[in-house]
Amino acid sequence: MDYLHITGGAKLQGEINISGAKNAALPLLSATLLSNRPVQIDNLPNVADVKTLAKLLEHLGAVVSWLTPHQAQIDANHIIHTKAIYDIVRKMRASILVLGPLLARCGHCEVSLPGGCAIGARPVDLHILAMEKMGAEIHIEGGYIVAKAPKGLQGTQIVFDKITVTGCENVIMAAALAKGRTQIINAAREPEVVQLCEVLQNAGVEIQGVGTSVLEIIGTDREPLQIPTFSVIPDRIEAGTYLCAGAITNSHIRLTNANPTHLEAVLEKLRQIGFRLESNRDSIELFPATKRESFEIITTEHPGFPTDMQAQFMSLATQCNGTSVIQERLFENRFMHASELQRLGANITLKGNIATIVGSESSQLVGADVMATDLRASSALVLAGLVAQGSTNVHRIYHLDRGYENLEQKLTALGAQIERKSE
């Protein structure tokens, strides 16, 4: 298996180009199942999760043609079966995103229960409840969600008692081909959900309330969509991760193809710590701080502070003067990186869903071998390696490759000493 060998201490300098958003690409790829015509998607990130979902679409009968590593044409005219098999779904739980479109387009599907992952149980009960509310008959058999809606799905009111990003995306896609109006109360407001709505609007689906917590969708009553070519929005979590690379090394870096309006809470937190940031429509520039102060974070659904940035800020907290406090509200086990950071000498105390980090600008992490446990934890360990004395080896970086395109190349170009090696 590959690992990243990082030698700490280098300042960073220069520009990083941000790739397309993984968490936008996944629902948008699933949405091609709503069409019987070829759909071209540009600015796809070249990451493992996108490849996995493309393979699932092909397994279902879609024809996926890669025009470049970042551009694909998906033709889902001939769906030959509607079973999303365990072997693919277990590799990427976001495969659950084919549930809504398959049910709406074909009237039946079997989707493997995704199972949990390192950060939590990750149930899909809200997805299932919503599909049943729209008229599907669903039962669980042999680890599969077996769903039937032979007469199609019926628009209705869906009230989510918990905000769920992919749950909301599944309902939006199902509602696009349902009969009548669907109202979603307590909808997710992430930029990725907004882009899904915009792409469906451009395909002729009437959607009101885009970007708000109340969405109204008028379905086409199983009339397949014609989806015009579109480009995936920039990845706000990749952008936030590289801003943290600049912040933890107290460097001057500039992100291009980034959308500052998608990560306001992250930018504000960096300003509170002591950094100056300048941004325009598609770039964000971070300048070194004279002093970096401790901070408090409570992870919250968008537009609050994103849980996907929590691990990266825990690494940054080790370099901020004083005691920082991070409360993880969304997932029950998303502090796996803490014990690995402690191996590097970080002073972190965990109590339930609250992490307390005592840091200082003079505190020196010391390089060691550490193990990645999930996608964002991996990036947090890389960030810590950038400032740890000596060298750090981050193992099991297949987690990293799921959601970051060419991470070591992008950091090397900024002056980081990081290389990929094989065990």
CB closer to ligand EPZ, 105 vs 376: 376
Q: Which residue has the tokens 């629902």?
A: 27
Distance of CA 279 to the CA centre of its chain: 22
Q: Which residue has the tokens 């997710």?
A: 188
Supply the minimum distance, in Å, between the C-beta of residue 182 and ligand EPZ. 17
Contact pattern for ligand EPZ over residues 372 through 391, marking x by CB under 6 A: ---xx---------------
Element (H, E) at 323: strand 322-327
CB closer to ligand EPZ, 10 vs 200: 200
CB closer to ligand EPZ, 29 vs 365: 29
Contact pattern for ligand EPZ over residues 20 through 59, marking x by CB under 6 A: ---x--x---------------------------------
Span near ligand EPZ by CB under 6 A; candidates 56-64, 125-133, 196-204, 379-387: 125-133
- With a CB cutoff of 8 Å and minimum separation 6, the contacts of 216 are 181, 182, 183, 184, 207, 208, 209
**Can residue 370 be called a binding residue for ligand EPZ (CB under 6 A)?**
no
| Spatial contact of 101 and 135, defined as CB atoms under 8 Å apart | no
Question: Residue from 56, 199, 316, 330 that binds ligand EPZ (CB under 6 A)?
Answer: 330
Backbone angles phi, psi at 292, to 5 degrees: -115, 115
Q: Let me know if 365 is exposed, middle or buried by CB neighbors in 10 A (0-12, 13-18, 19+).
A: buried
Backbone angles phi, psi at 272, to 5 degrees: -60, -35
Supply the minimum distance, in Å, between the C-beta of residue 36 and ligand EPZ. 25
CB closer to ligand EPZ, 4 vs 21: 21
Taking the CA atoms of 277, 279, 284 and 285 in sequence, report the sign of the dihedral they define.
Answer: negative
Supply the minimum distance, in Å, between the C-beta of residue 118 and ligand EPZ. 10
Coil/strand/helix, residue 288: coil
User: Any idea what DSSP says for residue 416?
Assistant: -
Span near ligand EPZ by CB under 6 A; candidates 36-44, 158-166, 312-320, 383-391: 158-166
Between residue 253 and residue 312, which ones bind ligand EPZ under the rule CB under 6 A? 307-308
- With a CB cutoff of 8 Å and minimum separation 6, the contacts of 89 are 56, 95, 96, 111, 112, 113, 114
| Side chain identity at residue 400, one-letter code | L
Q: Is 197 considered catalytic here?
A: no
**Can residue 170 be called a binding residue for ligand EPZ (CB under 6 A)?**
no
CB closer to ligand EPZ, 308 vs 405: 308
From residue 114, alpha-carbon distances to 94, 245, 343 in Å are 8, 32, 31
**Can residue 399 be called a binding residue for ligand EPZ (CB under 6 A)?**
no
Contact pattern for ligand EPZ over residues 85 through 104, marking x by CB under 6 A: ---------x----------
**Can residue 240 be called a binding residue for ligand EPZ (CB under 6 A)?**
no
**Can residue 165 be called a binding residue for ligand EPZ (CB under 6 A)?**
yes
Footprint of ligand EPZ (CB under 6 A): 23, 26, 94, 120, 122-127, 162, 164-167, 307-308, 330-331, 375-376, 403
Residues acting as catalytic residues: 117
